[in-house]
Amino acid sequence: MKKIVPDPPHTFELPPGKSLSRAIGENMVPMEYVLMNVTHYLMFAYSDSRRALERIEDEETRQLLEHGLRAMQIAWGQADALALAMERSSGVH
């Protein structure tokens, strides 16, 4: 898997009572930025979980975490591909 070094997460100033999904739907928050955040946090979750896996001695627990890491890796790769495609189509850098 390629090394992904995403930009730091974007923070969104939402008006009181406005959900992130509504802000995205109303174009107050760019969908591309949210997707970039997803890939950013998946990278941290994967990295931290991989380090935890190295410390687990129980084989059954190791296998469970390995399966979870594989699913996370697939989701991360797909989210990254989608973020890159959206970035190219919208000109977000």
pLDDT per residue as tens digits for the range 53-76: 999 999 999 999 999 999 999 998
The secondary element (H helix, E strand) that includes residue 12 is none
Q: Any idea where the domains of the chain sit in the sequence?
A: 29-90
- Which pair of structure tokens corresponds to residue 33? 């930025």
Whole-prediction pTM value?
A: 0.68
Neighbours of 53 (CB within 10 A): 15
Determine the pLDDT at residue 4: 53
